[in-house]
């Protein structure tokens, strides 16, 4: 299990048509493009997939669709999270997870649980899940942080919880987790821009946004980092870092869909309250694509 999720996972966008229905044809093209570009695994219906505006019925369709489109060529991680523990547990049985190897489950948002509440939440998920679970700590979105102490407590107590996607941006916290984690517990970057230093500290790779649009270079950079060849990885990091910053300048996934629309991989279409980037930023994105090429 540890080896399946070392490297670059891609937090897939959910392509929409202009009428805001799901564009399954574009979805299939994107999946195929990413696999052929050499990424290690795919993660549908995470934050980048605009999951909060996708209905349960649509999610029930997306999970098996991505599994069929992937055809076992790479591992799959299903994004199933939320702030209602009982509803997430219900989802484990409600969604068809054939072809998936793990679940990514974000720490509960909005209700801002205590550290004990976070621990008990994952305890309940770990007892009910049909698949191994990767925690997702993203305080900028959830309004609360999973501390290093809570992460390590969960990692030691629940063998089915196999890793964490860390997007706190707190390197002291990341170092503490990596230094004290149980054997085999994965620490995965949740922030593209800090993948290189996080792997240098002993991390295991990334679940990436930018790799939707630039999978070849970003996946190669991550592999070089995991081999310890940072001299070869650094030029790729610096080649991509300006692009990475634009992804979040006016919110994600608005930035990445602007890139994908310019590349002919997806419409620049969203469901409210997410909207396209401004024309000023979109022009900057066009210029960066030309520079990159």
Q: Beta partners for 103? A: 78, 133
Is residue 136 part of the annotated active site? The answer reads yes
What is the number of other CB atoms lying within 10 angstroms of the CB of residue 70?
Answer: 21
Tokens describing residue 101: 């190897």
Is residue 239 part of the annotated active site? The answer reads no
133-137 and 7-11 strand pairing: unpaired
What is the number of other CB atoms lying within 10 angstroms of the CB of residue 17?
Answer: 14
Distances (CA, A) of 181 to 157, 163, 220, 245: 12, 9, 26, 30
Beta-sheet strands, E only, within 61-218: 77-79, 102-106, 133-137, 161-166, 186-189, 205-208
Tokens describing residue 255: 């930035």
Compute the distance between CA of residue 25 and CA of residue 183 in angstroms, rounded to an integer. Answer: 41
Options 95, 136, 257, 259, the catalytic residue = 136
Options 165, 238, 280, 284, the catalytic residue = 165
CB 198 within 8 A of CB 166: yes
CB 80 within 8 A of CB 103: yes
Compute the distance between CA of residue 286 and CA of residue 292 in angstroms, rounded to an integer. Answer: 10
Compute the distance between CA of residue 273 and CA of residue 53 in angstroms, rounded to an integer. Answer: 9
Beta-sheet strands, E only, within the chain: 7-11, 41-43, 77-79, 102-106, 133-137, 161-166, 186-189, 205-208
Closest to 127 in 3D by CA, of 85, 77, 185: 85
- As annotated, the active-site residues are 136, 165
């Amino acid at each position: 299990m540890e080896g399946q999720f070392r490297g670059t996972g891609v937090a897939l966008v959910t392509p929409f048509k202009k009428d805001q229905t799901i564009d399954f044809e574009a979805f299939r093209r994107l999946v195929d493009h990413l696999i052929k570009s050499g990424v290690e695994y795919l993660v549908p219906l995470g934050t980048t997939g605009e999951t909060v505006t996708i209905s349960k019925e649509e999610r029930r369709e997306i999970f098996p669709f991505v599994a069929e489109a992937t055809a076992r060529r790479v591992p799959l991680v299903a994004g199933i999270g939320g702030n209602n523990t009982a509803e997430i547990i219900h989802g484990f049985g409600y969604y068809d997870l054939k072809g998936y190897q793990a679940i990514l489950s974000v720490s509960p948002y909005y209700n801002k649980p205590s550290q004990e509440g976070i621990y008990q939440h994952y305890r309940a998920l770990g007892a009910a899940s049909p698949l191994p679970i990767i925690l997702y700590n993203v305080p900028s979105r959830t309004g609360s942080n999973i501390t290093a102490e809570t992460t390590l407590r969960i990692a030691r107590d629940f063998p089915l919880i196999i890793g964490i996607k860390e997007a706190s941006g707190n390197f002291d916290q990341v170092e503490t987790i990596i230094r004290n984690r149980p054997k085999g517990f994965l620490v995965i970057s949740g922030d593209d821009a800090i993948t290189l230093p996080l792997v240098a500290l002993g991390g295991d790779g990334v679940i990436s946004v930018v790799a939707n649009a630039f999978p070849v270079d970003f996946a190669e950079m991550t592999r070089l980092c995991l081999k310890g060849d940072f001299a070869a990885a650094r030029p790729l990091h610096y080649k991509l870092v300006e692009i990475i910053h634009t992804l979040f300048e006016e919110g994600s996934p608005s930035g990445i869909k602007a890139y994908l629309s310019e590349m002919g991989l997806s419409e620049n279409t969203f469901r409210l309250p997410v909207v396209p980037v401004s024309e000023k930023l979109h022009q900057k994105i066009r210029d960066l694509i030309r520079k990159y090429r």
